[in-house]
Structure 1
Amino acid sequence: MNLRIRDLREDKDWNQTQVAEYLNMSQSGYSKYETGENDVPVSVLCALADFYHTSVDYLLGRTNNPEPYEPIPK
């Protein structure tokens, strides 16, 4: 699967270590998500969507609209 997480990170001029720290994981673990070596867990996809202010569908390439979805009221 071709995720957009590397492109989004590079567009923000962030390095893998910065994103990995946000996710509370190692840089090498995060790198494996970007390269596709490891599948990204749903919880991490949700955290990345929040981090980049977009939707999981956008991260997954299922839409070209980067706008986040309206949150579900609690």
Structure 2
Amino acid sequence: MDHLKHLRESRDLSQRQLADLLGLSQQSIYKYEKDLAEPDFYTLKAFADFFHTSIDFLLDYKPDTCAYTIRENGPELSPSEVHHLNLYRRIPKGVQAAFNVILEALTSKEK
């Protein structure tokens, strides 16, 4: 669970602090981060809720097919726009929300 360590460190939390916040042991956090153990569903849900992300992201799960993909031949989208929109859809919802705030701030200054 590579993403778990990154998410924990992005919040400036030690393994002990995260464990205490979620009612887990520091040893469990260590094992999850080192892929020495796998958390159960309820622990995954607790991580996802705490970090405002999806279980798919925590597990680095990427489905082979997407329900909807933006195509380059769509209306008025450049190849670069298609690429960036598809990247945007792969990031966690919490990161999307932060990105949206930044984008709104940048575009409101241009007006």
TM-score, with normalisation over the residues of structure 2?
A: 0.55
- Deviations 1:21-66, CA, capped at 9 Å, x for gaps: 1221211122111111111111100000000011111111125321
- The answer to whether residue 8 in structure 2 is matched with residue 9 in structure 1 is yes
CA RMSD of aligned residues (A): 1.5
CA distance in 2 between counterparts of 1:62 and 1:3 reads 12
Gaps of at least 5 residues in structure 1 are 69-74
Q: What is the rounded CA distance, in whole Å, between the counterparts of 1:60 and 1:3 in structure 2?
A: 8
Question: Matched residue of 2:93: which SS?
Answer: coil
Give 1:45's aligned residue: 44
TM-score between the two structures when normalised by the length of structure 1: 0.79
What residue number does 1:62 align with? 61
Q: How many residues were matched structurally?
A: 67
2:54 pairs with 1:28: no
The percentage of aligned residue pairs carrying the same residue is 37
Q: State the structure with bigger RCO (CA 8 A, min sep 6), 1 or 2.
A: 1
Unaligned runs of 5+ in 2: 63-89, 95-111
1:41 corresponds to which letter in structure 2?
D
Of Structure 1 and Structure 2, the greater helix share is in 2
- Which protein shows a greater Rg? 2
CA distance in 1, matches of 2:46, 2:24: 12
Question: Equivalents in 2 of 1:33, 1:40: separation in Å?
Answer: 7
